[in-house]
Chains A and B, each alone.
Chain A
Amino acid sequence: MLNDTQTEPTTLPTQRGAQLVTVNEVPATLDQTNFPVLGKGAKDFESVTEKISGLVLRKGVTKGWVVGFGIAFMLLMLFLYAVTVLFVDGIGIWGINVPVAWGFDIVNFVWWIGIGHAGTLISAILLLLRQDWRTSINRFAEAMTLFAVACAGMFPILHLGRPQLFYWLLPYYPNTMALLPQFRSPLLWDVFAVSTYGTVSLLFWFVGLIPDLASLRDRATTRGKQMIYGALSLGWRGSAIHWKRYTTIYMILAGLSTPLVLSVHTVVSFDFAVSQIPGWHATIFPPYFVAGAIFSGFAMVLTLGIPLRKYYGLEDYITPRHLNNMAKVMLATGLIVVYGYSQEAFMGWYSGAEYEKYMIWNRMTGPYAPAYWALIFCNGVVPQLLWMRKFRTHTVWLWCISIVVNVGMWLERYVIIAISLHRDFVPSAWGYYNPTFFDWATYIGTMGLFLTLFFLFIRFLPVIAVSEVRELVHIEHAKHGHH
């Protein structure tokens, strides 16, 4: 970082020798160089450890946490209610019916799975790309990934009708029923993709936590905490050999996670694209879905990160640099998604195929047109504000934009799934899809599940990777050179 040399400006005589130019003359318009990755409060190892582990080891809970957790828990109870009725009465309580046999269940599955992708991208890809700004946000983004995958997994399993038989989705041996899943179906690939994704994400998250759990063990003052954190830290002593092995396994897990960022949502997009339904059968789907996933994931990281930063006073750790960079990733992936919409619309017309043309026309002017245009507004128009730095670093604006993007990405899946299905080839088979109370209750209920887990996470585990931030403090100091 150029501004790190501020203590001792390097001077560069120009080639013509006319004037001296210092490196500090980098213009204010260059974002990257403006914001330090850590704030002034994160000045040494002690202050970092004290601040972050203090959030976990303090006694009792704050009033804000109780209110937040209470709301989340009530929503979780709504989920419990919706699922209980579902088990008693069956899938008929949902609004799905032929022709729209896939409704909220799959919309929400894709929405949640997509949200998880930011966590994996931040923890794995940004690590491999040597991006120092990943360090403060990776821990809670990874937690978000895990909880989002848990929520996503609910929907296909609940939709099975007999969820207790979910293991039939796996090819298992001995194959006593002579019943194997259809290997050509992307729905089966989903089972592999999502379960692998969940497993690797959990491992990655836990491995990253080990040194921090050991710090909590060492700092804990009660016997109970010492025992729990002690057991979880797997005997970590912070020796050189521990660190060597830790670094190796961490890089291996990053390498394993990287293809998962692409593969999971690619397979999810195949669920639709390999069919023949106009609006589903589009070759652009894989990259467009992956970009959409990262887009919505970063929106969710901001939705969670901005309040977290404010209420726990983490401004020195989640700095304007993080907000700015995340906003840029959101802008870039959002533009890819908009490119996808443009290709769907253009090719719908260009194909000259009757059903393709009708599909795109029906999206724009049919009974679901408001959903389509709301989607364009949320994902196509509003994120363009992020071209301006003012919006990228203003927490309130950025938070509002992130909410709009979350809504937009949900609408995108709704538009793709419901509109494409409700009018396909034969007009006599057309229909209309209306979600019921239980559709909404299940959806909002999973938000309760997600938030409940998240509130428990911020209470019992360090939301920021202490050991990694300490390493970053060390690197930053080395760059300054005089500390």
Chain B
Amino acid sequence: MARNFNTIVNDENVQPKISGLQKKAIAVAVVGVALLVVGAISDSDQFYRSYLLGYIYWVIVSIGMFSLYALHNVVSGAWGFTIRRFLEAGVRTLPLMLVLFVPIIFGMHTLYEWTHTDVVAKDHILHQKAPYLNETFFIIRLVFYFVLWSGLGFYLMKLNRQIEENRDPSKLGRIQKLSAVTLLLIILSGTFAAVDWMMSLEPHWFSTIYGILFVSGGALSGLAVTIWLLVKFRGNRPLSDFLVPRIFHDMGTLLFTLTMFWAYISFSQFIIIWSGNVAEETPWYAVRMANEWGTIGWGLVFLHFALPWAILLSKKAKRNPQILSAVAIWMLAMRFMDLYWLIAPAHLRSTFSFHWLDIAAPLAVGGIWMAYYCQQLQGKTLMTVWDPRLQDAWHRIGNADAADSAYFGDSPTVKEGIHG
């Protein structure tokens, strides 16, 4: 199989594979939505809480893929070219996520204490926060986030498409610079989204690092989904021509880094609040460290951090697509556990309970998300068709891979130089 930069086309199995995935996603969505309807009728409060969890679980995948896309445009490593299509499809799900927010607007009264005017009137602190935490401004911000993200995302994709189609590199500099700005804006607006959607569930509590936790957690979720897809399609051309072990190695390193970063940020927040032990902040952890919540919290330390960290420490594991994919799927399960631990105690407080809707909601939203995502993936090549940096990236990755392959004895993949 020659790595030919001039004929990047999908093999005939790609479209059926995407369609197959989409059909499964639709089936999950139908069952999930049916369950949600049953849940909404039987227990509307629980429905809204579970729906928020399911929604957040998936919206950060979209935001995370968007941030990885912006990152790729800035740094242009070889790993980014292999996943660009997967990331672009993720960016295209952003408008869908605005639509899927609608049930939360209907449930605001159930979810957010600060929407109750009588409570706010009696609570000095909430009263002070009212200029920010009020329903109108909440919705204005919501729309603003999605307009900003979609606008930047679709514009960047348009510029990239022009480069690919016209083989005209003149806009590359603009993409690079705009993507750097975009990354900045994602972090900033994502921070406020985190305050709006999650932090304000407990409106007296605050933490300055929370936005970073939200955005970097999203990047981790987005990367995990991307790795799962990349491994799923690794046998199909054009990806199969380009996926040298070094690419998986780099993806694994990125997953490793983001996992460590998650732990670093989570631990920093914990140690500072625990040590300070002030009345404004400690209750948030006091609830989450007692009874079953505490078990989950400790579980996160070992299962969200220590276990994947130990596995990804190994170069062999990172270079093995099956292991890498298994770790990515594991991380997706852990992301659920983390978000559940962050969100659910806001309403349940110290009584732990797990409702079946907490599973049904992520499945329903996920089914819809994945079905829509597959639609965005259809009809496009799985690889970047053209980019002036493509050859350079492969030249470098080829050198690194040749050295690695000599060391590991795994498939020497650099059979033909780019000049040959």
Task: Spell out A's residues near B (CB within 8 Å).
Answer: 1-2, 8, 10, 12-15, 19, 21, 23, 25-31, 33, 130, 184, 262, 266, 270, 273-276, 281-287, 332, 335, 339-340, 342-344, 347, 350-353, 387
Contact = CB atoms under 8 A, between A and B. Distances in A.
A1 B76 CA distance: 13
Contact of A342 (B169, B188, B271, B388): B188
Given A13-B6, A26-B169, A130-B400, A283 B129 contact: no
Contacts of A14: 6, 167, 386
Contacts of B195: 350
A21 B167 contact: yes
B392 A283 contact: no
B349 interface: no
Contacts of B265: 286-287
B184 A335 contact: yes
A287 B271 contact: no
B278 A276 contact: yes
Contacts of B391: 2, 10, 12, 23
A329 to B, nearest CB: 12
Nearest to B8: A15
Interface string B373-388: 0000000000001101
B125 A352 contact: yes
Contacts of B317: none
A1 B392 contact: yes
19 contacts: A2-B389, A12-B5, A14-B386, A15-B385, A21-B167, A23-B391, A30-B173, A270-B272, A273-B275, A274-B272, A283-B210, A286-B209, A287-B212, A287-B265, A287-B268, A343-B211, A347-B206, A350-B195, A353-B280
A197 B264 CA distance: 19
Interface string B140-178: 000000000000000000000000000101101110110
Interface in B284-335: none
A130 B212 CA distance: 27
B122 interface: no
Contact of B392 (A2, A266, A387): A2
B276 A274 contact: yes
A275 B129 CA distance: 25
Given A350-B206, A351-B206, A387-B177, A286 B268 contact: yes
A283 B269 contact: yes
B137 interface: no
B204 interface: yes
A276 B172 CA distance: 48
B280 A282 contact: no
Nearest to A128: B253
B418 A10 contact: yes
B208 A347 contact: yes
Nearest to B418: A10
B257 to A, nearest CB: 11
Nearest to A277: B276
Contact of B174 (A26, A29, A262, A350): A29
A344 B321 CA distance: 42
Contacts of A31: 173, 176
A27 B188 contact: no
A352 B129 contact: yes
What 4 A-B pairs come out closest when comparing CB atoms? A29-B173, A274-B275, A284-B208, A352-B125
B419 interface: yes
Contacts of A273: 272, 275-276
Contacts of A130: 400
B191 interface: yes
B128 interface: yes
B9 to A, nearest CB: 9
Nearest to B392: A2
B276 A276 contact: yes
A70 to B, nearest CB: 44
Contacts of B132: 350
A10 B268 CA distance: 50
B172 A29 contact: yes
B173 A27 contact: yes
B272 A285 contact: yes
B7 interface: yes
B350 to A, nearest CB: 23
